[in-house]
Structure 1
Amino acid sequence: MIKYFSLGAQKTSKHCHPAAERNKEPILSTLKLYINKPNAKLLEISSGSGQHVAHIAPHFPSVTFQPTEFEKSSINSINAYVAESPSKNILTAQELDVRQPAETWLGGTIEQNSLDYMLNINLIHISEWACTEGLFKGGSYALKPGGLLFTYGPYAVDGTITPESNVSFDAMLRSQNPGWGLRDIHKQLVPLANKLGIRLKHFHDLPANNKLLVWEKETE
């Protein structure tokens, strides 16, 4: 599992992932190319420690961010970051199991075709395939036509994993859980997305051999 360091374990529930500190600015810079709608709604799936949403949200004051997580300790960490953030556009983190039907998420409060954006960072490679299916099914249900889903992490491309460090990372993940591992953009993710009316719009190479993929829900 990805390691984290607790900041003042006796006083706070905040987690701090060193990798999140390194990648939050490149992710933000890329999102700035796409997030431009006023009064928009963004649902973050698997918000982790909360470092990303706390860093990103203040740069988009007209967007309401809803962070979510499956693990209780992560929810507590996210809310600790939110409580310290000067930004007022981050809602309290909620529990969400991406494997469940999207119409049940957040107690059934997410309406169909209601979201402008969805964001998912570092889930696809370190979870079972059912989570990836749930993510794209959720995007198909919840995003408005033309809405964007952003996914970030390491990926395979046309059957190849590069560089060697990602090959080793993939092997390590699969040794921990055979259902984990780097997913192939064109062989696995694109076919899944296309079946659900979602198309790969762009992808960006980011530092540390990661990519940010931009998916768009088809317009009606």
Structure 2
Amino acid sequence: MSLTQIAKRFLHAPIRRASGWKRTHPSADRNSQPIAEALLAQVDKQTPNLRLLEIASGSGQHVGYLAPLLPNISFQPTEVERSQFPSIQAYATDCATCNIKLPLYVDITQTVDQWQPDTLGAVKAGSYDYMFNSNMMHISPWACSVGLFRAAGQLLKSSGKLFTYGPYAQDGVLTPESNVRFDAGLRSQNAEWGVRDIKDLKPLAEQNGLKLEKITDMPSNNKFLTWLKL
């Protein structure tokens, strides 16, 4: 059965009535399937009771797409914008496989021990098999990237994986020209934003016990990076 067939099977299955309302974004509509294909190629699809922590879940659209494809994995969404919680909760409620937990408030610039007490009950050192972060690093201060790798170093199990998705420069080179213009536009909006260079992320990973394992080229000039916890 193809990924498209699996997605249709679950996304069109009878669902429980959502307790909130779902937000959708055209970019997530476009990239959900490519992200799912990259993720499914690198995760354990058989072992039960695995755990994935998503940082910066936004509307919940990605977790809503991914969770039904991986019923053996419990997905924990997080978000710093509480206004997104009703949408995430709606995706969790409507999930046919019932493997999306309610969202937790997480400010990724804070160390794990500073996260809210109710978060600490669900987030313990070395307790996650996977982490996932999409389209955050280029529209957030560098401190968010620092916090993401710091959290991955603390929360992932040995041989666990952090997956990050978005536009990236590589060894000082940003291509194509559309990404160069995109980067300039971001920096004009906020001097702390901008497309990150993979060479600058590698030291962050190494400082936290991770290494870059794989770079997957994606549609629309994005990349799917796989970071392995040593």
Given the two structures, how large is their TM-score scaled by the length of structure 1? 0.91
Tell me the residue number matched to 2:11. none
Indicate the percent of aligned positions where both proteins have the same amino acid: 49
Choose which of 20, 25, 28 in structure 2 pairs with 1:20.
28
* 1:71 and 2:81 correspond: yes
Tell me the residue number matched to 2:204. 192
Q: Is the 8 A contact 2:167 2:223 kept in 1?
A: yes
Q: Is the 8 A contact 1:13 1:73 kept in 2?
A: no
Q: Is the 8 A contact 2:20 2:89 kept in 1?
A: no
Tell me the residue number matched to 1:5. none
Q: Counterpart of 1:16 in 2: which secondary structure? A: coil
Tell me the residue number matched to 2:72. 62
Amino acid at match of 1:149: L
Tell me, in whole angstroms, the C-alpha distance in 2 between the residues paired with 1:205 and 1:55.
Answer: 20
- Pairing 1:176-215 to 2, within 5 Å after superposition: 176-186=189-199, 188-215=200-227
Q: Is the 8 A contact 1:103 1:111 kept in 2?
A: no
1:122–1:40 CA distance, 2 compared to 1 (3 A): same
Cα shift readout 1:160-216 (whole Å, capped 9, x = no counterpart) = 110011001101110110000000001x10011111111000010010110000001
- Pairing 1:155-174 to 2, within 5 Å after superposition: 155-174=168-187
Report the CA distance between 1:12 and its aligned residue. 5.7
Name stretches of at least 5 consecutive residues in structure 2 with no aligned partner: 1-18
Amino acid at match of 2:159: G
Amino acid at match of 2:66: I
Taking only aligned residues, the RMSD between alpha carbons, in angstroms, comes to: 1.3
Q: Is the 8 A contact 1:140 1:196 kept in 2?
A: yes
Q: Is the 8 A contact 1:64 1:89 kept in 2?
A: yes
Q: Counterpart of 2:183 in 1: which secondary structure? A: helix
